[in-house]
């Protein structure tokens, strides 16, 4: 169990009573809260006018904002000294020792299309290092979480430890990306080269792809143009399950950008070699 | 409620006592049966050797076969005079008045990748016309069914009537296809032209895409190379929800091949116009 120092005390400069809290249960509270907020907006039909970017009711944005506010409020009450970075409401105290990273609806296209492959990402960074992450899918009632050392799953099939596959070669690997359209120019050629070598490719997974990598069903996830909040909450899950995640250049992934996640070190090296010809 | 004539009597040439049965409840039994059979195989990790086409345990094929056999047995017990067409075990009495069409796991790639977008398709054809269809997703516990006149949904959000969107123009439409790789040669160009005009495109939906069309969240599904058992069970759902489904040439879709499903007649015509330049 990962513990962090918190306290329901008001934010203050001086010393205050610290209490050690069960951190996993706190993140579960955030997941409960955001799930309850988002679900009433899922599969609410959009009128064509809304989809075309017109004014009016936009369920994804509404759900995104409501869930982020609910989580921010809950974090502020329990950890007033922690920083916050969210997709909708930006950064607050992001130089703090502990910073929360929130993406209420990762996979907005899936959400709009009624497909249950979107998820709520909740991450915690300690002194710059992602130290805890959760992906919550409230419609299916699935949770994937990890702390970089271990990763776990809870859902319709029960509870289990997450472990990546032992796949070592691209030609035996299941590859996924949200959409081939995310790769432009040279990256498009690089991705196509990888796709040609992989056993099979599947599109349309969003955050779910990384969770299925952690669970051993997908072997490689390759994406581009990610924001830091898209990937930070997933890093402790992938690494906790035994996987490797970096940029396409092999650097630390927490800034986002182009991302490669793989089941094993050997597979990861092979993917980088193919992408960086 | 659609009713068909059946009877638990043994198959015989002469006349036998006919009884009118509640057909929806019978298809629900088939869905229960196949779901129970398939679920233990879902998210069973595949070894690289299996994925690479080696011998040994292949959970998708095992689940596919076991579920089809279970459904065939149940149908045979209750409707001994009905014909059967299944993905795994082929056709039997397919000239009968009523013919069942079964695809235990539509979306095998999604299944292998651990993504819950596969589904069990159960259809019934009466004198050549698809008259009832169901898509069952046992992991999420969702069912979509219809008889060409109406269509319904049951799942985590409760029960509801399915209705397609009122979208009339491609530039306001959400388009989906399982993968862009399914379109070859001229069809590839045709699909790309449609994709350029659509509001947004989402890949990776399989049978789920048609169900989300029926539910009003997706406006167009375009695919190619479908088998008849891939599409027959979905036709009464799409049409029952108010949608239109044909081949790319505008012909009846029950033979499979290249398929266009759209939310409205006007949208469907516009899609055919763009694809058939």
More confident residue, A16 or B229: B229
Nearest-CB residue to A45 (from B39, B176, B216): B216
Q: Do residue B208 and residue A139 have CB atoms under 8 angstroms apart?
A: no
pLDDT at site B51: 53
Segment holding A133, helix H or strand E: strand A129-137
Collapse the DSSP code of A57 into the 3-class scheme (helix H, G, I; strand E, B; otherwise coil) and give the result: coil
Percent of chain A with pLDDT over 90: 74
- Is residue B59 very low, low, confident or very high in pLDDT (cuts 50, 70, 90)? confident
Give strand pairing partners of B120: B136
pLDDT at site A6: 41
Q: What's the whole-number mean pLDDT along residues A76-84?
A: 96
Percent of chain B with pLDDT over 70: 87
User: Chains A and B: how many Cβ contacts under 8 Å?
Assistant: 124
Q: Do residue B179 and residue A113 have CB atoms under 8 angstroms apart?
A: no
pLDDT at site A24: 86
Q: Do residue B114 and residue A217 have CB atoms under 8 angstroms apart?
A: yes
CB B113 within 8 A of CB B97: no
The nearest alpha carbon in chain B to A113 belongs to B217
Q: What's the whole-number mean pLDDT along residues A27-31?
A: 97
Measured in degrees and rounded to the nearest 5, phi and psi for residue A211 equal: -70, -35
CA angle B124, B104, B184 (to 5 degrees): 95
Minimal CA separation from B55 to chain A, in Å: 14
Specify burial of residue A13 (Cβ count, 10 A radius: 0-12, 13-18, 19+): exposed
User: Taking 80 as the threshold, does the pLDDT of residue A260 lie above it?
Assistant: yes
- Is residue B5 very low, low, confident or very high in pLDDT (cuts 50, 70, 90)? very low
Q: Do residue B212 and residue A52 have CB atoms under 8 angstroms apart?
A: no
Per-residue pLDDT tens digits for B109-142? 899 899 999 999 999 999 999 999 999 999 999 9
User: Taking 70 as the threshold, does the pLDDT of residue B257 lie above it?
Assistant: yes
Interface probe with B: pick from A216, A217, A262, most Cβ of B within 10 Å: A217
Collapse the DSSP code of A113 into the 3-class scheme (helix H, G, I; strand E, B; otherwise coil) and give the result: coil
Collapse the DSSP code of B62 into the 3-class scheme (helix H, G, I; strand E, B; otherwise coil) and give the result: helix
Q: Which residues of B touch A135 (CB under 8 A)?
A: none
Interface probe with B: pick from A46, A114, A263, most Cβ of B within 10 Å: A114
Tokens 């233990």 belong to residue = B40
Closest CA to B198 of B223, B176, B224, B175: B175
CB B60 within 8 A of CB A183: no
* Distance (Å, whole) CA A148 – CA A84: 20
CA angle A132, A133, A134 (to 5 degrees): 140
B114: left (phi over 0), alpha (psi -120 to 50) or beta: left
Least confident among A111-115, A248-252, B52-56, B202-206: B52-56
User: Taking 60 as the threshold, does the pLDDT of residue B104 lie above it?
Assistant: yes
Mean pLDDT of chain B: 88
Q: How many CA atoms lie within 13 A of A83 on its CB side?
A: 17
Closest CA to B81 of B147, B7, B145, B20: B7
Nearest-CB residue to B156 (from A45, A139, A204): A139
* Distance (Å, whole) CA B232 – CA B229: 6
Q: Strands across the sheet with B257-262, in order? A: B200-203, B174-177, B220-226, B257-262, B244-247
Q: What's the whole-number mean pLDDT along residues B234-256?
A: 97
Q: Which residues of A touch B175 (CB under 8 A)?
A: none
Interface probe with A: pick from B158, B202, B243, most Cβ of A within 10 Å: B202
Counts of helices then strands in chain A (DSSP H, E): 9, 15
- Residue A172 is given by DSSP the state G
pLDDT at site A7: 39
Q: Which residues of A touch B202 (CB under 8 A)?
A: 109-110, 113, 115, 179, 204
Percent of chain A with pLDDT over 70: 87
Q: Do residue A169 and residue B48 have CB atoms under 8 angstroms apart?
A: yes
- Residue A44 is given by DSSP the state P
pLDDT at site A49: 47
pLDDT at site B109: 87
Per residue in B190-218, is it b (16+ CB within 10 Å) or e — as a string? bbeebbeebbebbbbbbbbbbbbbbbbbb
ipTM associated with this complex: 0.86
Q: How many CA atoms lie within 13 A of A152 on its CB side?
A: 8
pLDDT at site A101: 97
CB A165 within 8 A of CB A216: yes
- Joined together, the tokens standing for residue A72 give 């921010």
Per-residue pLDDT tens digits for B38-49? 999 998 865 444
Inter-residue long-range contacts of A63-69, CB under 8 Å, 24+ positions, other chains counted: A63/A37, A63/A38, A63/A104, A63/A105, A63/A111, A64/A88, A64/A104, A64/A105, A64/A108, A65/A89, A65/A104, A66/A37, A66/A38, A66/A41, A67/A33, A67/A34, A67/A37, A67/A38, A67/A104, A67/A105, A67/A120, A68/A34, A68/A102, A68/A104
Q: How many CA atoms lie within 13 A of B269 on its CB side?
A: 4
**Length of chain A, in residues:** 277
CB B244 within 8 A of CB B268: yes
More confident residue, A49 or A187: A187
Least confident among A7-16, A34-43, B267-276: A7-16
pLDDT at site B54: 47
- Is residue B95 very low, low, confident or very high in pLDDT (cuts 50, 70, 90)? very high
Q: Do residue B204 and residue A201 have CB atoms under 8 angstroms apart?
A: no
pLDDT at site B23: 79
Minimal CA separation from B129 to chain A, in Å: 29
Measured in degrees and rounded to the nearest 5, phi and psi for residue B150 equal: -150, 160
Closest CA to B95 of B126, B133, B122: B126
User: Taking 80 as the threshold, does the pLDDT of residue A17 lie above it?
Assistant: no
More confident residue, A120 or B207: A120
Per-residue pLDDT tens digits for A101-158? 999 999 988 998 999 999 999 999 999 999 999 999 999 999 999 999 999 999 988 9
* Distance (Å, whole) CA A184 – CA B125: 46
SS (H, E, C) A219-231: CEEEEEEECHHHH
* Distance (Å, whole) CA B254 – CA A65: 44
Give strand pairing partners of B3: B22
User: Taking 60 as the threshold, does the pLDDT of residue B2 lie above it?
Assistant: no
Per-residue pLDDT tens digits for B181-200? 889 999 999 999 999 999 98
pLDDT at site A4: 44
Tokens 């695919």 belong to residue = B223
Minimal CA separation from B100 to chain A, in Å: 28
Q: Which residues of A touch B42 (CB under 8 A)?
A: 157
- Residue B52 is given by DSSP the state T
- Residue A242 is given by DSSP the state T
More confident residue, A163 or A6: A163
State in Å, rounded, how far the first CA of chain A is from the last one: 42
Mean pLDDT of chain A: 88
Q: Do residue A157 and residue B42 have CB atoms under 8 angstroms apart?
A: yes
Could you tell me the sign of the dihedral formed by the alpha carbons of A240, A241, A244, A247, in that order? negative
> Cα A89 to the chain's mean position, in Å?
17
pLDDT at site B16: 36
pLDDT at site A204: 82
Closest CA to A81 of A4, A2, A24, A12: A12
Interface probe with A: pick from B111, B115, B158, B160, most Cβ of A within 10 Å: B115
pLDDT at site A235: 98
Minimal CA separation from B199 to chain A, in Å: 7
């Amino acid at each position: 169990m990962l513990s962090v120092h918190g306290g329901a005390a008001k934010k203050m400069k001086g010393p205050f009573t610290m209490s050690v809290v069960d951190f996993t249960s706190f993140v579960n509270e955030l997941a409960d809260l955001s799930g309850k907020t988002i679900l009433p907006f899922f599969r609410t039909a959009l009128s064509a006018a809304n989809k075309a970017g017109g004014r009016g009711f936009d369920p994804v944005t509404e759900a995104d904002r409501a869930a982020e506010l609910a989580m921010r409020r809950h974090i502020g009450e329990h950890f007033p000294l922690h920083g916050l970075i969210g997709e909708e409401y930006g950064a607050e105290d992001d130089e703090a020792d502990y910073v929360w990273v929130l993406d209420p609806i990762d996979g907005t296209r899936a959400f709009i299309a009624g497909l249950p492959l979107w998820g709520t990402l909740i991450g915690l960074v300690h002194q710059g290092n992602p130290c805890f992450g959760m992906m919550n899918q409230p419609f299916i009632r699935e949770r994937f979480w990890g702390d970089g050392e271990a990763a776990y799953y809870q859902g319709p099939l029960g509870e289990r430890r997450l472990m990546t596959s032992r796949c070592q070669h691209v030609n035996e690997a299941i590859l996924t990306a949200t959409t081939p359209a995310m790769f432009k120019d040279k990256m498009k050629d690089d991705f196509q080269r990888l796709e040609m070598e992989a056993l099979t490719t599947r599109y349309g997974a969003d955050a779910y792809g990384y969770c299925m990598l952690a669970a051993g069903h997908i072997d490689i996830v390759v994406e581009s143009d990610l924001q830091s909040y898209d990937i930070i909450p997933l890093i402790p899950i992938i690494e906790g399950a035994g996987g490797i995640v970096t940029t396409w250049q092999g650097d630390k992934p927490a800034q986002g950008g182009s991302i490669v996640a793989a089941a094993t070190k050997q597979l990861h090296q092979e993917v980088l070699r193919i992408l960086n010809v």
